């Protein structure tokens, strides 16, 4: 893994102190079965430099604003999170962008906040959880939001949430349920015609789309049987999503993703800090060693530059690390590469 920052990380989370405090007051200490991680701008930049990330497009993970039952409170929290994210990007030019938080499932309030964030605060897109209090993306009553996002050619970052059902003992939601949650949302967005009626929206699916690439033909047959559409057209809709590599650039998953996605539709993602730094290094090594140089450059940066054109204009270089920091990062990268090689099937 090169030490020169080049990557654009489209799956990178923040946990602002005031948000953590609100979650704690609601009795929430974890998300997806993982304890809420520590976060600060300084620790984010340190991890970005280690992974070779020039710019992170940050977002708020589940539960977003969905833990609040008062719609007014949810809207106020979304506004505060978006103002915090805008300030973070302004304080660190070139290092951070952000996906705006919306107070779903309140579609009306979400339209207003999406317009404010995209038109006034300079958001790079919006985050939408795959389901919000049990209501999935692609369900009825969301057309005003899709219309507003379509008019702006918005990027929509689809992130999973806890399934609207009890978790299974010894199966943490982040390990399996999250993949199903994203897949359900993608299925409905295609099945209910959202991606065809609103073609200017660029949907980005977390974690390589969950099960979408692997099960795409199975889903296409089911949707075709249900709607009368051509399976080929449905597969084309499924391939039209963008996909990030967070926790997914393994020797098993990465070839399937690259074989399925349209050219230019695979983006680098780390899932930090919910995925610890060691996990970020592991999967970044999977990308570094698993594809040809041209594909690596595209996934690392140029695909993101096409999606977010501002990133291709006079990028701001990261400050040079101190000699001690360079030595520490070099040792960490060497250790991560060795570990990655040792755990591969057939390794000796």
Share of the chain above pLDDT 90, in %: 88
Give the pLDDT of residue 258. Answer: 97
Q: What are the pLDDT digits (tens) for 138-160?
A: 999 999 999 999 999 999 999 99
Q: What is the mean pLDDT of the segment spanning 128-139?
A: 97
Residue closest to 173 by CA, chosen among 214, 129, 217 = 129
For residue 348, is pLDDT > 50? no
Peptide bond into 273 cis (omega under 30): yes
Q: Report whether 130 contacts 163 (CB < 8 A).
A: no
Instruction: Please return the burial class of 328, using the count of CB atoms within 10 Å of its CB with bins 0-12, 13-18 and 19+.
Output: middle
Give the pLDDT of residue 312. Answer: 85
Residue 67 Cα distances to 77, 84, 136, angstroms: 11, 19, 16
Give the pLDDT of residue 330. Answer: 57
For residue 3, is pLDDT > 50? no
For residue 324, is pLDDT > 90? no
Q: What is the band of 163 on the pLDDT scale with cuts at 50, 70, 90?
A: very high
Residue 332 Cα distances to 13, 162, 296, 297, angstroms: 22, 33, 21, 22
Q: What is the mean pLDDT of the segment spanning 173-196?
A: 98
Q: What is the mean pLDDT of the segment spanning 198-212?
A: 98
DSSP 143-185: HHHHHHHHHTT-EEEEE----SSPPPTT--TTTTHHHHHHHHH
Say if strands 266-267 and 242-244 run parallel, antiparallel, or are unpaired. parallel
Give the pLDDT of residue 313. Answer: 76
Q: What is the mean pLDDT of the segment spanning 26-43?
A: 96
Q: What is the mean pLDDT of the segment spanning 231-253?
A: 97
Say what the pTM is: 0.90
Q: What is the band of 1 on the pLDDT scale with cuts at 50, 70, 90?
A: very low
Coil vs helix vs strand at 100? strand
Q: Report whether 186 contacts 132 (CB < 8 A).
A: no
Q: What is the mean pLDDT of the segment spanning 239-246?
A: 98
Q: What are the pLDDT digits (tens) for 86-120?
A: 999 999 999 999 999 999 999 999 999 999 999 99
What is the rounded average pLDDT for all residues in the chain? 92
């Amino acid at each position: 893994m090169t030490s020169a920052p080049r990557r654009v990380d489209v799956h990178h989370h923040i946990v602002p102190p005031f948000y953590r405090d609100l979650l704690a007051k609601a009795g929430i200490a974890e998300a997806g079965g993982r304890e809420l991680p520590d976060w600060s701008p300084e620790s984010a930049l340190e991890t970005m430099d280690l992974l070779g990330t020039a710019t992170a497009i940050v977002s708020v993970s589940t539960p977003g604003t969905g833990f609040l039952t008062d719609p007014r409170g949810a809207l106020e929290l979304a506004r505060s999170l978006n103002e915090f994210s805008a300030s973070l990007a302004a304080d660190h030019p070139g290092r951070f962008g952000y996906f705006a938080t919306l107070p779903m499932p309140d579609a009306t309030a979400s339209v207003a906040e999406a317009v404010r964030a995209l038109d006034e605060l300079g958001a790079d897109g919006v985050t939408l959880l795959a389901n919000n209090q049990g209501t999935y993306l692609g369900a009825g009553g969301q057309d005003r939001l899709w219309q507003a996002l379509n008019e702006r050619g918005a990027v929509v970052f689809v992130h999973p949430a806890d399934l609207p059902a009890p978790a299974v003992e010894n199966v943490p939601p982040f390990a399996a349920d999250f993949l199903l949650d994203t897949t359900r949302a993608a299925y409905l967005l295609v099945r209910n015609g959202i991606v065809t009626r609103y073609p200017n929206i660029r949907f980005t699916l977390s974690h390589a789309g969950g099960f979408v690439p692997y099960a795409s033909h199975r889903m296409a047959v089911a949707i075709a049987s249900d709607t009368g559409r051509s399976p080929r057209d449905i597969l084309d809709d499924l391939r039209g999503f963008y996909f990030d590599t967070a926790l997914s650039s393994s020797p098993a998953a990465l070839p399937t993703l690259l074989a399925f996605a349209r050219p230019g539709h695979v983006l680098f993602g780390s899932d930090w800090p919910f995925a610890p730094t060691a996990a970020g290094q592991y999967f970044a090594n999977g990308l570094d060693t698993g594809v040809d140089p041209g594909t690596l450059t595209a996934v690392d940066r140029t695909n993101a530059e096409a999606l977010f054109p501002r990133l291709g204009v006079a990028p701001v270089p990261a400050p040079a690390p101190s000699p001690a920091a360079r030595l520490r990062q070099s040792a960490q990268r060497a250790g991560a590469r060795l570990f990655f090689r040792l755990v591969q099937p057939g390794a000796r």
